[in-house]
Amino acid sequence: MLRGTRSARLVPSCHKLDWRCHWALDRIQVEYRIRPGRRLIVAKRSVPVALLKTRKSTLRVRGIARRELLLSAARALLEEHELDEISLGDVAARAGVPKGSAYHFYDDIKDLYAALLAVTEEETLRNQGLPISEPVREWPDVIRILIRRGVALYNSDRPACQLQIGPKTPPELKLRDRRSDFALGGIYQQQLRACFELPDFPDAPQVFFRAVEIADLMFGLSVLETGKITGEMCAEAERAVIAYLGTYLPEKLPRRRRVGVAQRPR
């Protein structure tokens, strides 16, 4: 309801309404021009600019909070249900967010899954990028450690497992995850380089990307057959990736010397 003049409050909403804004240094003058028939009624309202900015900030914060609620609700539902059994309405109901607001933030459930996939991918990359503290004697040890990290993460995080390697993941999400796997291949390469003098060879980024894809293939087959990644399929992934990388890397790699560490005298 408009505020300003008494006549303005009595004008039906179907009449033509124009409004104009006049900016001052610290206030905005909003002018409503209402045309009920031949008469012209002007209603003015002065609103502090700072108040408008505060309202915009509040709406922005509220929007971010609702997105987080929807993502958390989707994650909780994926712990309990299959990926293709959930609708955006289900997520909104679990989050306590109006269904209309959910569709304001996401076009459909696949759009929300894409946002959640980005979160789980970031978590996977962060997990695989952690420094290796386990004993390492040969370069295959690094590969085994990274693969086992991935298995532990997927088996403990069903939403990440469903979105990244599950059999029901939509093709467009699988394509997006392939881009993340390219970054993951780079982490494999960095982890090897942190422990060993890694030789340069053509198409190294593509080689490590394919190594990650080989591991994902074994993971996905295990999830399809048993609903989780078994120890047997984890070992199969290790053998397959090490064998593939072994066609590019020598059996023995020199250890990388730690910078700044004094060598023990002989």
pLDDT tens string 169-191: 999 998 888 889 999 999 999 99
Is the pLDDT at 243 greater than 80, yes or no?
yes
Share of the chain above pLDDT 70, in %: 74
Residues sharing a CB contact under 8 Å with residue 239, sequence separation 6 or more, in sequence order: none
Encode pLDDT of 4-19 as tens digits: 433 334 334 444 444 4
Collapse the DSSP code of 29 into the 3-class scheme (helix H, G, I; strand E, B; otherwise coil) and give the result: strand
Q: What is the DSSP string of 193-262?
A: HHHB-PPP-TTHHHHHHHHHHHHHHHHHHHHHHHSS--HHHHHHHHHHHHHHHTTTS-S--PBPPPTTPP
Q: How far apart are CA 262 and CA 50, in angstroms?
A: 60
Query: Predicted confidence band at 128 (pLDDT cuts at 50, 70, 90)?
Result: very high
CA atoms within 13 A on the CB side of 137: 0
**23: confidence class by pLDDT, cuts 50, 70, 90:** very low
pLDDT tens, position by position, 181-224: 999 999 999 999 999 999 988 899 999 999 999 999 999 999 99
CA 105 – CA 66 distance, rounded (Å): 9
pLDDT tens for 146-170 read: 999 999 999 999 999 999 999 999 9
How much is the mean pLDDT over the chain?
Answer: 82
Q: Contact, 1 vs 12, CB < 8 A?
A: no
In sequence order, the 6+-apart residues with CB closer than 8 A to the CB of 197 are 253, 254, 255, 256
pLDDT (0 to 100) of residue 262: 35
The pLDDT of residue 263: 39
- Say how many CA atoms lie within 13 Å of 153 toward its Cβ: 22
